Chain A
Amino acid sequence: MIDLISYSCIGLGLVFWLWGTWPLLGPRSVLFKLHSLSVADTLGSMSIVVGLLLKIPNEWPLLILALISLAIWNTVLGYVLAYCSSDIVHLAPPTHSSSVSAGDAPYV
Chain B
Amino acid sequence: MNWVLPIMLLILLIPLYEACQDKDIWQKMLAFASIATKTSLMILVVSVLRDDWMIGVVGVIILSVGNAALMLLAHVIKRLNEIGEG
Contact = CB atoms under 8 A, between A and B. Distances in A.
Interface of A: 10, 14, 17-18, 21-22, 24-25, 30, 33-34, 37, 41-42, 45, 48-49, 52, 55-56, 59, 62-63, 65-66, 69-70, 73-74, 76-77, 80-81, 84-85, 89, 92, 95, 97
A contacts with B: majority SS: helix
Contacts, number: 104
A65 B64 CA distance: 9
Interface residues of B, number: 41
Interface of B: 1, 4, 7-8, 11, 14-15, 17-18, 24, 26-27, 29-31, 33-34, 37-38, 41, 44-45, 48, 51, 53, 56-57, 59-60, 63-64, 67-68, 70-71, 74-75, 77-78, 82, 86
